[in-house]
Structure 1
Amino acid sequence: MKFIFSIIAALVFFFQTSEIESLRYSYAKANQSTANTRAFINVADKQSGSDPVILGYKAAAQIMEAKVTTEKGKRKMFVKAGATSLENVIKSNPNNLELRLIRLSVQENIPKIVGYHKNMNEDKAFILSNYSKQNSSLKSYIKRFASQSKTITDTERSALK
């Protein structure tokens, strides 16, 4: 019985990990083109469950929906709903580094006029101070993000080992 439970737990972990890896890959490419943004939104929409990281990516997808929608009246609604969702999941999981990374990325890339940029320094400091505690996959993802980040300095990038 324990063996069967172990196999089921391993399968759940494997599929959850691959879902997150798929979201990370798609999210990292989302700002490169409208097609990539739409692809990320589709990948995020297909995800289900209550994992906080998946919910964070789904919230980011909602915000990015404003970038590709043709209905101008809905842009504000998408940003507001996505930002509210992202803030709620971070409030429930304040020590989750990947959620902070998602928020930093969103706030870096959203137009300043929107006014959603108040957590950038806080999130950057949290990411840099907790980087060493992360698994190798997340460390690699953080390094890739940092390499193109407007907020993370060259000195801070070089500290990420």
Structure 2
Amino acid sequence: MNFIVSFLASFLLFFQTNLESIRTSYAKANSSATNTQNFITIAEKETDSDPVILGYKAAAQIMQAKITKQNRKSLVKTGATNLERLIKSNPNILELRVIRLSIQENLPKIVGYRGNLKEDKNFIFNNYAQQNTSLKNYIKQFVMQSKTISASEKATLK
């Protein structure tokens, strides 16, 4: 019995470490091409089928277009399609909405993938209070640097 509990605790700790690692890398990814490549590398190594991890993998596909010269349109389209599919299948996972909002607000307007900014922003603010402390801190970090969220909205997060 102790072995099973120990195994499960180790498994959960391992998963959490991977998620924290990918979150940290994603938060830094937009600051330089090197950080973008590091995030893509971390995301591509993930084999977990958790929807949040798959959301970060979709974001990595989209971000690949930022640092490559070939197939940029295809990379964005594939990543966006994967992210939309994940959100449609898991509409209540807040972190997927944070990922989509961050992608949409950072892509050039000409790409045309910006249709959910208001929806995701509202979803984030309506569901923020129910999240665990780790995710709240992560979301707050994103919100504070967001271009889409106003200063008065930022002030409402605790």
Superposed CA deviations along residues 56-86 of structure 1, whole A, max 9, x for unmatched, are 0000000000000122xx0011000000110
Alpha-carbon distance, 1:11 to partner: 1.2
Per the alignment, residue 120 of structure 2 pairs with: 123
Cα distance in 2, alignment partners of residues 85 and 97 from structure 1? 16
Code of the residue aligned with 2:152 in structure 1: it is T
Structure 2 regions of 5+ residues with no counterpart?
none
CA distance in 2, matches of 1:48, 1:35: 22
Residue matched to 1:112: 109
Map of 1:56 onto structure 2: 55
Q: How does 1:15-30 map to 2 (within 5 A)?
A: 15-30=14-29
Task: Quote the residue 1:102 is aligned against.
Answer: 99
- For structure 1, list consecutive stretches of 5 or more residues without a partner in the other structure: none
**1:30 & 1:49 partners in 2: Cα distance?**
21
> What does 1:1-161 correspond to in 2, within 5 Å?
1=1, 3-71=2-70, 74-161=71-158
Structure 1: which 4+ aligned runs deviate by more than 3 Å? none
Amino acid in the other structure paired with 2:154: R
Where 2:148 maps in the other structure, the secondary structure is: coil
TM-score normalised per structure 1: 0.96
Q: Distance in 1 between the 2:97 and 2:18 partners?
A: 19
Cα offset, 1:157, TM superposition: 0.8
Residue correspondences, number: 158
Listed one character per residue, the Cα deviations across residues 9-31 of structure 1 (whole Å, up to 9, x for unaligned) are: 11111111111100110000001
Shift of the alpha carbon at 1:134? 0.5
- Percent identity (aligned): 59
Task: Give 1:34 deviation, angstroms.
Answer: 0.5
